[in-house]
Structure 1
Amino acid sequence: MRKKLLTQDIILQWDFSRRKNMNMMCCLLCYENHDSHKHLFFECKFSAQVWNMVRYKAGMDSVDPKWEDIVDWLLVRSRSKSAANYVSRILVAASAYFNWQERNARLFKNQLGPLEQVYAMIIKTVRYKLMGVKMKRTERVRRLLGEWEILDADINGDGG
């Protein structure tokens, strides 16, 4: 949220002596632009595709794949304690995290994960987080959890 990750735009702000041996390269997710915070979250073609795949799961269909738009959408709802807004916050965090993980795997381990794998990790993480949280048993919450395919037994610890 504070744009502190070491993307190339941040490294370029360092004094020359700290970055003189660094060769700046293109984004390893889309191979088009350098990896700035703005680009990586979520204007890069790869991360925008991930965002477009997951955003509907949290009722964020209308939110463009731009960090400022996503943050603005969340800020309007920041004081809400509704289950839907809780899910949206988790979804955004998981999306940013797994895009960052994919970028780092490509940069440091030379491992390329497919788009579908990043999507699956985001969905799985949100589902696991929802299984561990206590929520009021309203019809709206039941519907929301049903959309995530989380059964009452999963939440109550009776099965899984």
Structure 2
Amino acid sequence: MAWQTIRSHDIEVSWKDFVWFAQCIPKHAFLVWLIMRKKLMTQDKMLVWNQVRRKSMNMMCCLLCYKNIDSHGHLFFECEYSAQVWCKVRSHADMENIPPIWNNILSDMLQRRSSKLIANVVAKLCVAAAAYYIWRERNKRLFHNHARPPDMLAQEIIATVRYKLMGMKFKTSAQVTRMLDKWNIHGDAVFSSVDSTCPMNR
């Protein structure tokens, strides 16, 4: 009771169910939460804070494409490298018509944020995984000088989402079967008596 009295009550954001949902991968969801709040330590932010460094050097380039400034908007997914990754991943989530621009992706996600249909859960998993691995690739290049081609990164994203789907339970339906076939997931192990519109964890 005391906690309810002293804690602050902010207005609930419209994107809550896009970021935090029952089937989310927590580390991916946390990264997307930081993106939504524009809290990632991209180089454009760091240079604004460090005025001395800013005067002594030019803005640092994106470490993925070396063609633009390292910023939230550029990394997700307007960067030439990350756009290639997104375009290889989006077809697995029936998002072929969504361009590699964060605001467009977010607009699509907000329309399906509360839906438990398998297609919408897969879409949210794919967006979060793509953002997470793009950010991790950027950091590997920054701190470890380790780079991978976009094809390899896209394969890791797809594999991660596939493993997540393999660990969930579904009720048999045409929609579920079609989506699982797209992800090359077969067998009775993924089916249960749960409502077909609501994929559930084991």
CA distance in 1 between partners of 2:123 and 2:49 (Å): 34
> Does the 8 A contact of 2:64 with 2:138 survive in 1?
yes
**Residues 20-29 or 121-130, more deviating:** 20-29
**Total equivalences in the alignment:** 156
Task: For residue 57 of structure 1, report the CA deviation from its aligned partner.
Answer: 0.9
What per-residue deviation string (whole Å, max 9, x for no partner) do you get for residues 5-58 of structure 1?
A: 111222234253797888742111001111100000000000001111111110
Q: Which residue of 2 aligns with 1:147?
A: 182
The reply to whether residue 100 of structure 1 matches residue 135 of structure 2 is: yes
CA distance in 2 between partners of 1:104 and 1:15 (Å): 20
CA distance in 2 between partners of 1:91 and 1:21 (Å): 40
The reply to whether residue 11 of structure 1 matches residue 51 of structure 2 is: no
Q: Which residue of 1 aligns with 2:67?
A: 32
82, 107, 132: which is aligned to 2:117? 82
- Residue identity over aligned pairs, in percent, reads 53
For residues 121-140 of structure 1, what are the structure 2 equivalents within 5 Å?
Answer: 121-140=156-175
Normalization by structure 1: what TM-score? 0.89
CA distance in 2 between partners of 1:29 and 1:18 (Å): 22
> Does the 8 A contact of 2:47 with 2:53 survive in 1?
no
CA distance in 2 between partners of 1:76 and 1:57 (Å): 19
CA distance in 1 between partners of 2:151 and 2:107 (Å): 27
The runs of 5 or more residues in structure 1 that have no matched partner are none
**Residues 143-152 or 17-26, more deviating:** 17-26
CA distance in 2 between partners of 1:137 and 1:22 (Å): 59
Matched residue SS, 2:130: helix
CA distance in 2 between partners of 1:90 and 1:10 (Å): 27
CA RMSD for the aligned pairs?
2.0
Task: For residue 76 of structure 1, report the CA deviation from its aligned partner.
Answer: 0.7
| One-letter identity of the residue aligned with 1:5 | L
Which of the pair has more CA radius of gyration? 2
Normalization by structure 2: what TM-score? 0.71
